[in-house]
Amino acid sequence: MLISISKNKKKTYVGYTNNLAQRLKKHNSNKGAKSTKGYKWSLIFYKNFSKKNDAMSYEYKLKKDRRKRMKIVENSKYKTC
């Protein structure tokens, strides 16, 4: 899970990848997902899976569970405004 590091608005982003460093670099260079453009991002949570289906299932659940995402943010060094 990523969090925006801009001062204006804190946003989170959830996605899956098999190359975390490359994906974060793409997002920060405005070449990642449409919803990440215009923001700089920092990694606050990741989880490894052995199967792509398991990763996609967890991604879907995390995207739908706002409370869980906010709990992850609260437990990270970044705090929402």
Per-residue model confidence (pLDDT) at position 79: 52
C-beta atoms surrounding 25 within 10 Å: 13
Residue 73 pLDDT > 70: yes
**Residue 81 domain-assigned (yes or no):** no
Output the average pLDDT for the chain: 88
Containing structural domain, residue 50: 2-75
Residue 66 host element (H or E) = helix 66-75
Total domains in the fold of the chain: 1
This prediction's pTM: 0.83
Please report the pLDDT score of residue 80 as a whole number: 47
Residue 80 domain-assigned (yes or no): no
Cα separation of 45 and 24, whole Å? 12
CATH of the domain at 53: 3.40.1440
pLDDT tens sequence across 35-65? 888 889 999 999 999 999 999 999 999 999 9
